[in-house]
Structure 1
Amino acid sequence: MMRELTIADVRAAVRGGSVFASGGGGWVDHGLEIGGAAVGIGRPKLVSVDELPDDAIIITTTAIGAPAGREWEMWGVDYIKAVQLLMDNYEGKVVGVMTPQNGMSSTINGWLPAAALGLVVVDATGDIRAHPTGKMGSMGLASRTDYETIQVVVGGRRDTGSYLELVVKGTPAKTSNILRTASDMSGGFIASARHPLPASYIKEHAAIGGISIALDLGYAMLEAEAQGPEAVMEAVSCKTQGRYIGRGQVLKKDVHYSGAFDIGTITMEDGGGNELTLHVMNEYMAVDDQEGQRLTTYPDVITTFEAATGLPVSVGGVKEGMEIALFAIDKQYVPLSSSVKDHSVYPEVEQALGIPLAVYGLKGI
């Protein structure tokens, strides 16, 4: 049922979203700041998609870029302006917003424009976990040529002249690539609104309940914090049916920024001289053992926890010598959207990483 989102929900969404961030999904401080602004200027409401009529138009709100980017600047008004520009360029009436993914800040992506513009936040995600490309959160639209979308980006460094506002129309595949380029030009991270779709499409193709799942996990983590780091990590595994597949020091981090993506590998020890390789494209996309055997692959949730704090640590926050715990939730235990079942979203990421993903990720779904 409809519920008003509060500052307590902001903290829980950021905490739980940090697990589903899978090493990306924004920043904790940014999530708390934007979420706090949302509940400060209004009372954003979280609704089930089933509470909306089938023809109610819902748009996706997000941020595009690489979490390790350093030259970006994105204000709360940029999120609002992106949604407003989409609404100005769309003939119908927009009712609600949703996020394409959970994350450290992306779980609360739409809360601020919803509060400012009188929209509702829909309890659904384009993907339960964070992912590198917009196509992976587009709910099966990536390969469609019969759907004309509207995509908007707003943001960038004002002091360097990198601020951009861009509205594009066309197929999801082509316009998504344009937005990624705009993000890179703006400094590496930019606010976005896109894909006006009827609730009937969301009901069929989204990961339903994605926000509530992050909130519930976040509250469990916050409750466990008083008992220490190990209790927090245990609470996560109990709540999600996930498992820890490695623990040890980070031996090497070889991740580099390229075209609004963070791409590379992180190598960690796993006791007894064994090593694990974490493949990164903004988020953790796969893990191999030292024999080259695949241990987990997108769309599984793959998260690193800093052992000293018991909290998720992003790719950008991982340092050589840090002790981390590697955690995974098998895809059978999370709702899957049509995005992750779309064969066309995998080749771009496979080419960037130089490893197979689809043969593992699509197996059994």
Structure 2
Amino acid sequence: MSNHGYDDITAEWVEHVAVGGAVLGGGGGGSLDEGIEFGHLAVEYGDPEIVPISELDPTEVVLTVSGVGAPAATESHVRPADYVRAVELAVDRLDARGTTVGALMTNEMGGFAAVNGLLQSAVTGLPLVDATCNGRAHPTGPMGSIGLSEDEVVLQVGVGGEPGSERHHELLVEAQLGSAASTIRQTAEAAGGLVAVARNPVSADYAASNAAVTVYDQAEAVGRAVRTAADGATAVDDVANVLDGEVAVTGTVESWALETTGGFDVGTVTVDGHELTFWNEYMTLDRDGERLATFPDLITTLDAETGEPISTAELSEGQSVSVVVAPASSLALGAGMHRPELFEPVEEAVGEPVIEYAFEE
């Protein structure tokens, strides 16, 4: 299917991809309920289109779309129109310089992220490419910048916050990548916790070489496994099988602590003696001092009763969950996952060694 693009994007396909995306989000990647609603809206509005990146002229410009912010933020207010607005502001700015945008690309997988771009495609007529910056969710902008260097000057647009209030922001920034990403993150905080983003225009040729290519089939397969399973235990096992992973533990959430700081959710979870840390997404899984999985390996939590994915922001003590892990090699990863220096902020955030495990020789 992915060889020919997705000609007929249905409500059922949206639901499979959003659920699979939520699993691949690894605890992050946005709200699944909002993702399904957003995807349905796109299908009702028009005809969103997904094409293989190989179908684009190599010189055509691909623009990444994302949401930036803390999933647990309670004051956030981003409308579907804001996602479209961010794209339009970026397209207009580039157009003024004689650069035409040829396609869009979502930045990661997640309950919302996996379907982000569909509405923008339906409204603008620009196709989405069957690629993402990463075929899983990741916490920082630089990780999702497909290998662009921190000092490369990029264009980023953020839109969000309650309309008509002091929290509403429309920001267009052109700066070095690291600075632009932190400016967008600060804007998300000022807007109440979240902004819709369009950013980092690159050539299709560059995207093809540095992005995670062909991602929707995997998301759909994972989502289908969850949604067609007879019960939670079957769903959990099927997801592990689809991802060549394993069920690390099924048990009760004994403790869960989350703090929203700097535009991120950071915290810890304990499930039957297994300790997890997260920074939006799960970063580490340990048992009795032994490291079982480390980001960018996929560490994801599913409701043990229903098999539905549960994000780090949605967990609560006493819940019965299964922790599924899959090796990074099972995932489509972009160039941002292959640079150890981009993992230094992870270690600072969660206070655990990450680089030595993620980049074992």
- Native 8 Å contact 1:6 1:43 kept in 2: no
- Native 8 Å contact 1:279 1:353 kept in 2: yes
How far apart in 2 are the matches of 1:336 and 1:156?
Answer: 31
How far apart in 2 are the matches of 1:344 and 1:324?
Answer: 33
How far apart in 2 are the matches of 1:355 and 1:229?
Answer: 31
Q: Deviations over 1:25-53 (max 9, x none)?
A: 11111101111111111111111111111
Equivalent residue pairs, number: 354
Which one of the candidate residues 132, 154, 158 is aligned to 2:139?
132
Normalised to the residue count of structure 1, the TM-score between the two structures is 0.94
- Residue 144 of structure 1 deviates from its aligned partner by 4.1
Q: Deviations over 1:138-190 (max 9, x none)?
A: 1111x342x32100000112364211000000111110011110001101111
What secondary structure, in the 3-state scheme, does the structure 1 residue paired with 2:314 have? coil
Q: What amino acid does structure 1 have at the position aligned with 2:237?
A: E
1:213 alignment counterpart: 218
Root-mean-square deviation (CA), in Å? 1.2
Answer yes or no: is 1:105 the counterpart of 2:103. Answer: no
Unaligned runs of 5+ in 1: 270-274
- Native 8 Å contact 1:102 1:211 kept in 2: no
- Native 8 Å contact 1:125 1:211 kept in 2: no
1:123 alignment counterpart: 130
What secondary structure, in the 3-state scheme, does the structure 2 residue paired with 1:139 have? coil
**Identity over aligned pairs, percent:** 34
Q: What amino acid does structure 2 have at the position aligned with 1:185?
A: A
Q: What amino acid does structure 1 have at the position aligned with 2:232?
A: P
Answer yes or no: is 1:231 the counterpart of 2:238. Answer: no
What secondary structure, in the 3-state scheme, does the structure 2 residue paired with 1:248 have? strand
What secondary structure, in the 3-state scheme, does the structure 1 residue paired with 2:14 have? helix
How far apart in 2 are the matches of 1:268 and 1:222?
Answer: 24
- Native 8 Å contact 1:302 1:329 kept in 2: yes
How far apart in 2 are the matches of 1:3 and 1:251?
Answer: 43
How far apart in 2 are the matches of 1:160 and 1:250?
Answer: 39
1:339 alignment counterpart: 336
Q: Deviations over 1:71-96 (max 9, x none)?
A: 00111100000000001111311111
Q: Deviations over 1:241-269 (max 9, x none)?
A: 11111121111111111121111111121
Answer yes or no: is 1:324 the counterpart of 2:317. Answer: no
- Native 8 Å contact 1:152 1:194 kept in 2: yes
Which one of the candidate residues 176, 186, 190 is aligned to 1:185?
190
- Native 8 Å contact 2:251 2:321 kept in 1: yes
- Residue 338 of structure 1 deviates from its aligned partner by 0.7
1:173 alignment counterpart: 178
Which one of the candidate residues 202, 205, 209 is aligned to 1:200?
205
- Native 8 Å contact 1:208 1:335 kept in 2: yes
Give structure 1 regions of 4+ aligned residues with deviation exceeding 4 angstroms.
none
Normalised to the residue count of structure 2, the TM-score between the two structures is 0.95
- Native 8 Å contact 2:68 2:197 kept in 1: yes
Q: Deviations over 1:178-220 (max 9, x none)?
A: 1110001101111000010111111111111122221222223
Answer yes or no: is 1:262 the counterpart of 2:260. Answer: no
- Residue 363 of structure 1 deviates from its aligned partner by 2.4
- Residue 223 of structure 1 deviates from its aligned partner by 2.3
1:272 alignment counterpart: none
- Residue 234 of structure 1 deviates from its aligned partner by 1.9
What secondary structure, in the 3-state scheme, does the structure 2 residue paired with 1:25 have? coil
What secondary structure, in the 3-state scheme, does the structure 1 residue paired with 2:248 have? strand
Answer yes or no: is 1:311 the counterpart of 2:318. Answer: no
2:34 alignment counterpart: 30
Call closer, same or farther: CA 1:47–1:177 in 2, change over 3 Å. Answer: same
Answer yes or no: is 1:75 the counterpart of 2:79. Answer: yes
What secondary structure, in the 3-state scheme, does the structure 1 residue paired with 2:50 have? strand
